Chain A
Amino acid sequence: KAGVTQTPRYLIKTRGQQVTLSCSPISGHRSVSWYQQTPGQGLQFLFEYFSETQRNKGNFPGRFSGRQFSNSRSEMNVSTLELGDSALYLCASSLISGATLGEQFFGPGTRLTVL
């Protein structure tokens, strides 16, 4: 069974631009979560999608948004990029969500550099 895939793997943008990252979960997994990893703040939860609905959101500004499609693939968008958005963005998929929490499996990440 294929793992979680993320595209692109590396991205360089300039301040003020916007970016879209993509995540395809493990087949059969319906929950996709996004995380940001920076040297200063560590790994932080951004949001979780399940059945095309955002179920949970971390403490990030509205410039960070996401969506999930009917095939469970998810995209994350960051608008008006700032230097501090430079980070490794990881997505994770899990089989179940809600009352019973499932083990999360991570993709390889997208490394975003904002110049």
Chain B
Amino acid sequence: GIQVEQSPPDLILQEGANSTLRCNFSDSVNNLQWFHQNPWGQLINLFYIPSGTKQNGRLSATTVATERYSLLYISSSQTTDSGVYFCAVLTGANNLFFGTGTRLTVIP
């Protein structure tokens, strides 16, 4: 099956810093989503982004499908940004393949 790799696996930031999370995938995909998993396990949709760039407040994402990667940018990080960030890709069937996640800790 398709391989989805995320980097870095862990990231510690000072509040106010910026960061870039990366998602590489091994094959062509139909779509890609970014999620934030909160401490209670809820997966919160951040972006649905098959290609191009989208922005939502302090967060933005870019997917370059031809080069098989996506980037999630977090600017001016806050402690509430802490948690695990997952990217997930959709292949020909309607099921998501998840990356291993990036655990972000923002310290005040």
Interface residues of A (CB under 8 A from B): 31, 33, 35, 37, 42-45, 48, 50, 55-56, 58, 88, 90, 92, 94, 97-98, 101-106, 108-109, 111
Residue contact A101 to B30, C-beta cutoff 8 Å: yes
Residue contact B94 to A101, C-beta cutoff 8 Å: yes
Residue of A nearest to B31 (CB): A101
Residue contact A42 to B90, C-beta cutoff 8 Å: no
Residues of B with C-beta under 8 A to A102: 94
| Residue in B86, B96, B100 whose beta carbon sits within 8 Å of that of A45 in the complex | B96
Q: Please tell me which stretch of B14-22, B36-44, B52-60, B66-74 contacts chain A, meaning at least 4 of its Cβ atoms lie within 8 angstroms of it.
A: B36-44
Interface residues of B (CB under 8 A from A): 30-31, 33, 35, 40-45, 48, 86, 88, 90, 93-98, 100-101
Summarize B's interface: helix, strand, loop or mixed. Answer: strand
Shortest Cβ gap from A7 to chain B (Å): 15
Residue contact A45 to B95, C-beta cutoff 8 Å: yes
| Residue in B44, B45, B97, B101 whose beta carbon sits within 8 Å of that of A103 in the complex | B45
Q: How far is the CA of A106 from the CA of B37 in the complex (A)?
A: 10
Q: How far is the CA of A34 from the CA of B93 in the complex (A)?
A: 14
Residues of B with C-beta under 8 A to A101: 30-31, 90, 94
Residue contact A42 to B100, C-beta cutoff 8 Å: yes
Q: How far is the CA of A35 from the CA of B98 in the complex (A)?
A: 10
| Residue in A50, A55, A56, A111 whose beta carbon sits within 8 Å of that of B41 in the complex | A111
| A92-B43, A106-B45 known, 13 other contacts, Cβ within 8 Å | A42-B101, A45-B96, A48-B94, A48-B95, A88-B41, A90-B41, A101-B30, A101-B94, A103-B45, A104-B45, A104-B96, A106-B43, A109-B42
